[in-house]
Each structure stands twice: as C-alpha cells, then as structure tokens.
Amino acid sequence: MNSENNKAQKIAKDMLIAEVLKAKPEAAGIFFSFGMPCLGCIVALNESVGDAAMTHGIDLDELLKKLNEA
C-alpha cells in the first residue's frame, strides 16, 4: 500500500489497533496522546480501537477524529 492509500483509509472503531498502526504508523503518537502507552503488548494489538477506548475511558469519537485526521 502506498502512502496515498494509507491516508485514504478510514479508521473505524472495529479495526484492530495493529491494523491501524500498520496503515498509519503515525497513529502511535495519537494513541500515546490519549493515554494509551502500551501499544506493543499482545492484548493492545489484538484489541479494537473501540474496545481500547472503552477500556481506557477515552472518548471514541474524539479518538477516531484524530486518527482519521492523521
């Protein structure tokens, strides 16, 4: 996938964090800014964005907005 396709891919709540990081490596900084520092752990990589937001008490809509703006 080239970088143009990466930017066009919309991040959704049911996407796994691993999928998001593969499509948009710059998303790591956004996750960190929302207080999600453990992106390298097995659970985090196999967890959906929506589940992670719920687990961490993060506003899902705001997180998705920032991820899709990246």
What are the sequence ranges of the domains in the chain? Answer: 3-69
- The three-class DSSP label of residue 24 is coil
Please tell me the class of the 3-69 domain: mainly alpha
* 27 neighbors 18 (Cβ within 8 angstroms): no
* Average pLDDT of every residue of the chain: 85
The pLDDT score that the predictor gives to residue 31 is 92
The pLDDT score that the predictor gives to residue 6 is 46
| pTM reported for the whole predicted model | 0.81
Strand partners, 16: 48
Q: Per-residue pLDDT tens for 8-29?
A: 679 999 999 999 988 999 999 9
**What element of type H or E holds 5?**
helix 3-8
The pLDDT score that the predictor gives to residue 8 is 63
